[in-house]
Copies of this chain bind each other. A is one copy, B any other.
Amino acid sequence: MIRFEGVSKSFGGAKAVDDVTLSVARGTICALVGTSGSGKSTLLRLVNRLLEVDAGSIRFDGEDVTRLAPVELRRRVGYVIQSVGLFPHWTVERNIATVPRLLGWSSARIGERVAELLDLVGLPPGLHARRYPDELSGGQQQRVGVARALAAEPELLLMDEPFGAVDPPTRRGLQDSLIAIQRRTGTTILLVTHDVEEAIRLCGTLAVLHHGRLLQTGTPASVLTHPASDEVARFFGGPLLGLNRLKALRVGDRAHVADPPAAEGEPIDTDATLETALARMVAEGRSRLPVRHLADGRSGVLDLADLVRP
């Protein structure tokens, strides 16, 4: 879907992005993580040509983006900007309708789409459609920003810290909505985040940037299990790296066939994270949990000891 090849970008001599090569497959979510100033936002902006590459190429569906007219390209690519950037003089409704209007959709179709999107991001249209951005809380604003980027069913979604400024419970809710949306629409997403947990929860691929260079790519599990360098390990929690690994691994990865008698209690799903399993064990004071269904249809158990299996 989107492929960076040897992409570099400098600002006045300083390299913000340095020889990055990275592919994101259609329908997947890829997280760009890295410390502040590592070039994440710059990389996103290169995709929709808010910036132009200095060297290398970016292919969107096989086509070099520099061959596409910027305005057309941007209408095919949704963009959630780091600082939300809602248009303060337009209602929520009108904000979300921005791209559809630019594309000249009929107003009936736009109306339907806006209502649908508001539902999707959990804002009842009746309550919120006609409000202005400054009448919304920060979290609601960010949801509108996401809805706006999704409006014209973009093939690719660029999200720059979409939930950056929200308190933990709200943030979890937004992540759940995003997962649901992505499942429904199959959009490809390139997501920038500071938040390790968010990256692990949402994304199939992690790409770790540092000083503009790509340090490592891979699934959350592989990156956390085998960090390529100290930098990567440090980013994912240093001494607590091991714990973050539990966020990346799933019950199915470690559960084993139930040796009857199966454990008591409410069984846990195979695709729950090991972290959730551990939390339940701690909370319930037990070291074994029943597992609902293994991949092969049989049920099983998860032992505390399974969590620390190397």
Contacts and interface: CB of A to CB of B under 8 A. Distances in A.
Contacts of A239: 276, 279-280
Contacts of A284: 242, 308, 310
Nearest to A281: B308
B283 A241 contact: yes
B167 A196 contact: no
Given A35-B169, A36-B167, A310-B285, A243 B304 contact: no
A278 interface: yes
A308 B282 contact: yes
B279 A304 contact: no
Contact of A194 (B36, B168, B235, B285): B168
Contact of A304 (B237, B246, B305): B305
Contacts of A168: 194, 196, 237
A308 B279 contact: no
B310 A246 contact: no
B305 A240 contact: no
Contacts of A237: 168, 279
B285 A309 contact: yes
A188 B107 CA distance: 61
A286 interface: yes
A307 interface: yes
Interface residues of A, number: 38
B194 A242 contact: no
Instruction: Report how many copies the assembly holds.
Output: 2
Nearest to A278: B243
A238 interface: yes
Interface in A225-247: 234-235, 237-243, 245-246
Nearest to A274: B282
A163 to B, nearest CB: 14
A197 to B, nearest CB: 10
Contacts of A305: 287, 304
A19 interface: no
A72 to B, nearest CB: 36
A282 B245 contact: yes
Q: Which 9 A-B pairs have the closest CB atoms?
A: A285-B310, A242-B282, A242-B283, A242-B279, A243-B279, A281-B308, A240-B279, A282-B308, A287-B305
Interface of A: 35-36, 137, 167-169, 172, 194, 196, 234-235, 237-243, 245-246, 275-276, 278-287, 304-305, 307-310
19 contacts: A35-B169, A36-B137, A169-B238, A239-B279, A240-B275, A241-B279, A241-B283, A242-B278, A242-B279, A242-B283, A242-B284, A243-B279, A243-B282, A278-B278, A286-B308, A287-B304, A287-B305, A304-B304, A304-B308
